[in-house]
Amino acid sequence: MSQHYAETQYGFDWGAAKVQRVFSDDKRGWVTLTLETPRHAGNNNIQIYVTRTGKVRIHDSRGEWSPPKTKARGDFFTTKQG
């Protein structure tokens, strides 16, 4: 079974995903890509910003996505004493 793949002027379409390059800054080294899917299309596309050091920031129409907050390893095994 083959998946749909086609290169476009600024990126590629692969299955339900459409990836495009949008902005870049050669001097500062960052790039911005957009990802569109049937659930994230038009003004609700996903914008992926990558810094020259490799840090990734992801935005959509609601703002920047934040990684989930995780508990420190020891917090999973706490017990009440008293």
Query: How much is the pTM?
Result: 0.72
Beta sheet of 17-25, edge-to-edge order: 5-7, 11-14, 17-25, 30-36, 46-50, 56-60, 63-64
Q: Is the pLDDT of residue 76 over 60?
A: no
* Mean pLDDT, residues 65-78: 65
